[in-house]
Amino acid sequence: MASLYAGWVITLMWPQVKDFLQETLRRWAAVGLILITLLPLFLLSIFHPSAFDLTAFHDSVDHEYRRSDYANSFAELNEEAKWVTIE
């Protein structure tokens, strides 16, 4: 999602910006434009993290919940499964 967002901004903004820069500065300007574009997404993920996170391993999946009541609800709904544990 973030790469799609950055791609659209670069596609729309870069033709407007590149003619004003020296050729030696264009690469740095492109990197700066991408970082400025992605900054709101990075800040959003830091200050408003998602309710849960999944980490997939070769033979298992870890579910990490921001709130313990989400984890308990998940465990109650899946209590028959032998792989459900609460840490």
Task: Note the pLDDT tens digit of each residue in 32-44.
Answer: 888 888 888 888 8
Q: Is the dihedral of CA 7, 12, 14, 17 positive or negative?
A: negative
- Asked if residue 15 and residue 39 are part of one domain, the reply reads yes
- Asked if residue 43 and residue 6 are part of one domain, the reply reads yes
21 pLDDT band, cuts 50/70/90, is confident
pTM for this prediction: 0.54
- Asked if residue 8 and residue 24 are part of one domain, the reply reads yes
- Asked if residue 60 and residue 29 are part of one domain, the reply reads no
- Asked if residue 59 and residue 33 are part of one domain, the reply reads no
**What's the distance, Cα to Cα, between the start and end of the chain in Å?**
31
Q: Which residues have CB under 8 Å from 16's CB, separation 6+? A: none
The pLDDT > 70 percentage for the chain reads 95
Q: Which residues have CB under 8 Å from 33's CB, separation 6+? A: 9, 10, 13, 14, 17
- Asked if residue 30 and residue 9 are part of one domain, the reply reads yes
- Asked if residue 58 and residue 42 are part of one domain, the reply reads no
